[in-house]
Chains A and B, each alone.
Chain A
Amino acid sequence: MSTKLSFADIVDLFATKTGQTKKDAELFLRELLDIMSSKMCEDGLLKIRDFGTFKVVDVESRESIDVNTGTKIVIASHRKITFAADKTLKDLVNKPFSLFEPELLNDGVSFEQSALDKIQDEELDENEADAEQTELEIEESQNTNMQGRLSKALGEMTFDSNPIEDQVQESHPIEDNPKEIIPLEDTKVDILPSEDDEAAPFIEPTSDDEIPAVANDKPDTIDLEKESPKDKSLKKLWIIAGTIFVVLGVAAVAFYLFNVDDDRANKPLQAAVAEDTDSTSKAAAPKPRVVVVKQDTLTHKTVGQPNADSTKTSANKIVKETERAKPNVPAIPKATTEVVSEGTTFRTLALKHYGSKEFWVYIYQANKAKIPNPNKLRYGLSITIPDAKSLGIDPKDPASIKRAKLLNDKILSEVE
């Protein structure tokens, strides 16, 4: 790849390409370079189409320090040549990185803390070295933000948790427990809207499983548990939170079982579940511990709650379903599918199928069900690519691209 070519090599290549003799080719190139260097110096400007522009710039004299002796020296004013590559050359050379775009950084995102930065970098190197690094970094920082909010929310919740804990240990009547727990859960839902949003795409089309959502929530909470101080009350709180998740999961399973005959359910569900095996397996580790600690209370609760919960979730789903109905309409006709391979992003898919990377939003919308986060695309996932005509998009139409960009901003801000 990166070999050093000399004048002779270029002469060879040039001669074969033009069908000239080497002698002619060499003569041509010699004359060309001669004219280039002399005219560059005389005129101060030289343009070559599709290659670039050479410009002569004046550099003012400045003071500097001799690094060897430490004495002050003056660098005399001189002229230097700058080379600005033409757009054609720029694009050609930058092709491997052409999918990157400047990214607006939100407040609070800081790359200054070197320790955190290092960890992030290591993780990134391990995972996908050449993948969309920038987006991931931003996403990571968002996660930390979210965790910050979570811990705040937890601080508020500690008050609630203690009484429940007491009640549970004294094994009060079962009827009391669900009442206590439901409001608690509600507050949690209110406090963490963003997390819910993230989970939402999962729930919508499958229409009857809460498991992925629960699983999604878990890794975060586990991280927090590790990070947070050994505060005992906090630990208890986490146990409670864990039980709530388990209850939710059971409720979701129950709800699912009631609705198996729903025809749309099977396929997307499987995809979603398969996709989430990672996170569930992560979540599985701490779960048993929770169960051991308070097995009896857990069973009480699971008995008491499913009905209430399933009605709640179903209500949620109806709302989400109606929301979802609009954007998904154009996705059906003449769609092609593609399995995500390593290094594939939405933007590369869009570039391949639609001719512009900006149109990735439409692919995301068509596959929202399978993808909890548009910044993360799992390998091996089969993606539906809607027909370009049905979407009414055209890579040559600036208005169309503008619409896609607007949509892009909207989706990304939703994810945040």
Chain B
Amino acid sequence: MTHKELVAELAKRLEQTQARTSELLETFTTVMNDNLADGNSINFQGFGLFEIKKKMERISVNPVTKQRFLIPPKITAVYRPSQNVKDQLNSKDNEH
């Protein structure tokens, strides 16, 4: 599902214009992004947890040239799905 489809679906359910929905969705992402950038973790009950994790620096080797690179440490945003979502996936799996 792309961003557009999501906006369309959301607008249909909320009975709002797509433009307005798109605007709101954008605001939502900025709220999320700003909080994650500040180092906060965000937990949505029944959906999952968004948080940031620090990855340590590491050495990676280019398999073709055999050159070794020191990859710097970085901070990444991660998502941990809740049990609820996992179960939903699993049930889908069983149907297959």
Contacts and interface: CB of A to CB of B under 8 A. Distances in A.
Interface of A: 1-7, 9-10, 13-14, 17-18, 20, 27-29, 31-33, 35-43, 45-52, 54, 56, 77-81, 83, 85, 88-90, 92-97, 100-105, 109, 111, 133-134, 137-138
Contacts of A105: 59, 67-70
Given A1-B38, A49-B3, A41 B28 contact: no
B17 interface: no
B6 A17 contact: no
A27 B3 contact: no
A103 B70 contact: yes
Interface string B61-81: 000000111111111111101
Contact of A5 (B14, B40, B60): B40
Contacts, number: 184
A17 B27 contact: yes
B29 A103 contact: no
Contact of A13 (B9, B23, B31): B31
The 4 closest A-B pairs by CB, nearest first: A100-B72, A83-B79, A105-B68, A2-B39
Which of A77, A95, A104, A137: most chain B Cβ within 10 A? A104
Contact of B89 (A17, A45, A56, A90): A56
B79 A81 contact: yes
Contacts of B81: 80-81
A85 B76 contact: yes
Contacts of A49: 3, 26, 29
Interface string B24-52: 11111111111111111111111110001
B47 A48 contact: no
Contacts of B43: 4-7
Contacts of B36: 89, 92-93
